[in-house]
Structure 1
Amino acid sequence: MTDYKTLIDAETWAFIEKTNSYYPPDTIDYTIEEQRAIYDRMCREFFAGYPQAVTAETIAITSPTNSIPIRIYRNGAPNKAAMVLYIHGGGFILGGLDSHDDVCAELCARTGHEVVSVDYRLAPEHLHPAAFDDAMNAFEWAARTYDRPVLLCGDSAGGNLCAAVAHATRGHVKKPIGQVLIYPGLGGDRSRGSYVTHAEAPMLTVRDLEFYKHIRTGGVDRTGDITLYPLADADFANLPPTVLITAECDPLSSDGEAYRDRILTAGGRAYWFEEPGLVHGYLRARHMVGRARSSFTRIVEAVSVLGRSDWIW
Structure 2
Amino acid sequence: MSGPDYRRLIDAEVWAYIEKLDASYPPDAVEMSIADQRKHYDAMCKVFQQPRPPGVAVSDRAFGGVPCRVYAVEGPDVTVVYYHGGGFVVGGLDSHDDVCAEIAARTGYDVISVDYGLAPEVVFPGCFNDAWAAFAAVAAEREGDLILAGDSAGGNLSAAVAHHARGRVDGRIVGQVLIYPGLGGDTTKGSYVEHANAPHLTMADLNFYRTVRTGGAEPPEDDPRYAPLKDSDFRGLPPTVVVTAECDPLASDGESYRDAVRAAGGRAVWFNEPGLVHACLRARHVSKRGAAFFDRVVEGVAALGKGAWPYG
TM-score, with length taken from structure 2: 0.97
Q: Which of 148, 152, 155 pairs up with 1:152?
A: 148
Question: 2-side partners of 1:26 and 1:195: how far apart?
Answer: 19
SS of the residue corresponding to residue 177 of structure 1 reads: strand
Paired letter, 2:203: V
SS of the residue corresponding to residue 76 of structure 2 reads: coil
Residues 123-163 of structure 1: CA deviation (Å, up to 9, x unaligned): 00011011101111111111111110110010000000000
Aligned residues: 307
In the TM superposition, residue 219 of structure 1 has moved relative to its aligned partner by 1.7
1:8 is matched with 10
1:217 aligns with 2:214: yes
1:234-273 superposed matches below 5 A: 234-273=232-271
Contact map agreement 2:184 2:221 (CA 8 A) in 1? no
In the TM superposition, residue 174 of structure 1 has moved relative to its aligned partner by 4.4
1:1-150 superposed matches below 5 A: 1-61=3-63, 63=64, 67-75=65-73, 77-80=74-77, 82-150=78-146
In the TM superposition, residue 176 of structure 1 has moved relative to its aligned partner by 1.7
Contact map agreement 2:81 2:111 (CA 8 A) in 1? yes
Contact map agreement 2:9 2:275 (CA 8 A) in 1? yes
1:288 is matched with 286
Structure 1: gaps (5+ residues) = none
1:297 is matched with 295
Question: 2-side partners of 1:128 and 1:296: how far apart?
Answer: 29
TM-score, with length taken from structure 1: 0.97
1:173-212 superposed matches below 5 A: 173-212=170-209
Superposed CA RMSD in Å reads 0.9
Residues 308 and 56 of structure 1: CA distance in aligned 2, closer, same or farther (over 3 Å): same
Paired letter, 2:194: T
Paired letter, 1:55: A
SS of the residue corresponding to residue 228 of structure 1 reads: coil
Moved over 3 A (4+): none
2:227 is matched with 229
SS of the residue corresponding to residue 300 of structure 1 reads: helix
Question: 2-side partners of 1:223 and 1:296: how far apart?
Answer: 31
1:312 is matched with 310
Structure 2: gaps (5+ residues) = none
